[in-house]
A and B are shown apart, each in its own frame.
Chain A
């Protein structure tokens, strides 16, 4: 399927049907309201494949062939994870180490992922003010995610700014979580329907439920 031009005058949405792969990694799911609700929302969106990596590989024995085929079968790749020690959970790192092979994802002949879209959906324990120069964590979240951004770049993936929820633990107590979950659903639908305003998004450091830049109609020229 190729995302084609959608005639604006018809007034109804024609889905270009981008296929989305959400790779979800959380080692302590029973303690996480936020990620549980986010996963549930993701699995409710059409054309989204949600993979719980810790359920699939509890003993870290990743099936490289299956994972690579899964990447080939989708147009948008999403990492959904809690920030643990300023990085991805161990299994998601293992997944990158094994699946993003030389000759597949990068290097000679390694162009299999080039042109696909990529984003991270991150939750943090600390509030936003911790993630500032001079704050408790000293670095903005986007800077801490630089390794992932560069990984995407090396693989030729189009990097969409991370969709982040700060202080996820306390968010479960107020209305921030439901709003964030709803925003996640809208983000996934927009990616699927190719309605996210990429140019506007790329100007932002982070995405949030309130700042999602949408277009009314699908864009053209997003490569598969």
Chain B
């Protein structure tokens, strides 16, 4: 127990110290995690061989990340990407494999080993690249999108690679390997549904599994989540979200597919679902932590003894690899006629080897394809190239972009898919606002906690998402950072105040329109930072009183002026009373407040009374015959 706690302490401590520091220095969080890993691993020796085991858990962060990426990507946009996915991705993988293989053969490796090395090095790091692109907000740029297409293709390409590698086995290593496999089987073989099946059967099982994920995601998740949402237990929803990701990953591993690919597909299927934002914000923290852990283990796993023994050789290989991959990427970016900024981003972002390289390397040694001593060196190259990636991003940010900016105008930022208005609560109040905004062509993202309500609105074709808007993370995933307007239209008095104060903290410049229950609520919302506060029943009560006056025969224009006087007095009263309002004291016990309220009531009554002999009274002032006195007419 103490051992475990110590481990957790060391990892968390390293992350908490190193990551904010790295971000402050402008290095990005990924480099922060990597450095933290180096410090606690090779440098201080606080963690050791167990990093391998932890890395397997941490790789789950990559799986979750792809799930989240899928959630952001509707099936239609995935289909639109197909050209870049196959063209860019396919060419990148194929050309890199061939060139790396050639280089390796030139260095004297046999062809089969060279091909395996080509496979390992053709992959880039999804984890580092996506994390960094998201952090820098470059995901939507053409360079970012192209990079993402290539990464996605690589994740798919891992599957045939895993099938190909055993065929490359070296006879002289086979004996050693079978010993290792025998050793591994002692620990209990991995569960699998496809052992002992021939090729076409495996293919059938694979297709069935993917179909199950797509169909299940489409038909089963909604009723399931609606059922869970009805229970109104937040942690159970989180548990269900985790269960979804874990079960898909499990199914994919069972049939020998990439778990990252499976969850990505599930994400795409759920991208249109009303639970999208809720799922996003539930998975997000787990993904962040696991991914961080993954980067730390990469840093901690670097074998410094081996590195220093072969320092120049390994460095040379690493730099050579990066140059080669960058050259391939650059040619592709020219071929696909990207702009200069996108070209450099695409080239530098994907020039490293990736975490799947670790997986492939351990697989190759197990299958007697690459001799272990070579594999150890290659492991160092992969880790070092990943370590250098943040430096390449810094190069892009600090050196390349400023120069390009001088020469050419940067293309305008693409409009994000997030709405320009977030409406929290789609009850009777929020509905009207949503219809008026949508009717006039403004984008809205609607959040509500009632699954029934959402269901109904979806039937009317109104995009509504399930989620408690008072959760900061959910508000963020609904696009708080980009939105122009937040409308808080929920029933719950306290939560409305929470939402307003959170949004105001995050976005000092956003405009907030809030629905208030009563005067006290107005005061609280004002203090929380709402711009426009609307008492939910005030305006309708004013209208009702206007009709009542008209029913007594008051001329409608006169009635309008009378209620306007009342509204003005009331607004003024609220402003004056707000200064005396004390949130810790019930209003009836707040003596100064009660006193002022009575005074104001008397003032309002006097102003409304038609017997005030004041020519400049607000009502009578509107129009008077010259030289007359209002009293004459009463």
B624 touches A31 (CB 8 A): yes
A54 interface residue (CB < 8 Å to B): yes
**Besides the known contacts A28-B620, A31-B620, A55-B557, 16 further A-B residue pairs in the complex with CB atoms under 8 A apart:** A27-B557, A28-B625, A29-B555, A29-B558, A30-B633, A31-B625, A31-B630, A55-B555, A56-B556, A58-B557, A58-B559, A59-B560, A84-B623, A125-B626, A169-B625, A169-B626
A32 interface residue (CB < 8 Å to B): yes
CA distance A32 to B632 in the complex (A): 11
B624 touches A54 (CB 8 A): no
Complex A-B: 28 CB contacts under 8 Å: A27-B623, A28-B620, A28-B622, A28-B623, A28-B625, A29-B557, A29-B558, A30-B558, A30-B633, A31-B624, A31-B630, A32-B625, A54-B556, A54-B557, A55-B555, A56-B556, A58-B556, A58-B557, A58-B559, A58-B560, A82-B625, A84-B623, A125-B626, A125-B627, A126-B626, A168-B625, A169-B625, A169-B628
Contacts of A32 in B (CB 8 A): 625
Contacts of A55 in B (CB 8 A): 555-557
A54 touches B625 (CB 8 A): no
Residue on B with the closest CB to A91? Answer: B557
- Chain A residues with CB under 8 Å of chain B are 27-32, 54-56, 58-59, 82, 84, 89, 125-126, 168-169
Q: Least Cβ distance of B627 to chain A in Å?
A: 7
Q: Which of B591-631 contact A (CB under 8 A)?
A: 620, 622-628, 630
Q: Least Cβ distance of B622 to chain A in Å?
A: 6
Known: A58-B560, A169-B628. A31 touches B555 (CB 8 A): no
CA distance A55 to B560 in the complex (A): 10
Q: Least Cβ distance of A25 to chain B in Å?
A: 10
CA distance A84 to B622 in the complex (A): 12
Contacts of B628 in A (CB 8 A): 31, 169
CA distance A124 to B626 in the complex (A): 10
Contacts of A84 in B (CB 8 A): 623
CA distance A47 to B557 in the complex (A): 26
Interface size on B, residues (CB 8 A): 16
Looking at chain B's contact residues, the main secondary structure is helix
Contacts of A28 in B (CB 8 A): 620, 622-625
Closest 7 CB pairs of A and B: A28-B623, A58-B560, A54-B557, A125-B626, A58-B556, A58-B557, A27-B623
CA distance A42 to B559 in the complex (A): 24
Contacts of A56 in B (CB 8 A): 556
CA distance A56 to B627 in the complex (A): 29
CA distance A32 to B623 in the complex (A): 10
CA distance A55 to B557 in the complex (A): 6
Q: Least Cβ distance of B414 to chain A in Å?
A: 40
A54 touches B555 (CB 8 A): yes
B625 touches A27 (CB 8 A): no
CA distance A31 to B627 in the complex (A): 12
Residue on B with the closest CB to A170? Answer: B627
A31 touches B556 (CB 8 A): no
Q: Least Cβ distance of B579 to chain A in Å?
A: 32
Residue on B with the closest CB to A32? Answer: B625
B560 touches A31 (CB 8 A): no
CA distance A139 to B84 in the complex (A): 79
Contacts of B625 in A (CB 8 A): 28, 31-32, 82, 125, 168-169
Contacts of A59 in B (CB 8 A): 560
CA distance A125 to B623 in the complex (A): 12
CA distance A169 to B558 in the complex (A): 20
Contacts of A27 in B (CB 8 A): 557, 622-623
CA distance A23 to B623 in the complex (A): 19
Residue on A with the closest CB to B610? Answer: A30
CA distance A84 to B559 in the complex (A): 21
Q: Least Cβ distance of B432 to chain A in Å?
A: 18
CA distance A167 to B286 in the complex (A): 84
Contacts of B627 in A (CB 8 A): 125, 169
Residue on A with the closest CB to B634? Answer: A30
Contacts of B620 in A (CB 8 A): 28, 31
Q: Least Cβ distance of A53 to chain B in Å?
A: 9
Q: Least Cβ distance of A31 to chain B in Å?
A: 5
Contacts of B558 in A (CB 8 A): 29-30
Q: Which of B347-367 contact A (CB under 8 A)?
A: none
CA distance A166 to B619 in the complex (A): 26
Contacts of B624 in A (CB 8 A): 28, 31
Interface centre among A29, A30, A89 (most CB of B within 10 A): A30
Interface centre among A28, A59, A169 (most CB of B within 10 A): A28
Contacts of B633 in A (CB 8 A): 30-31
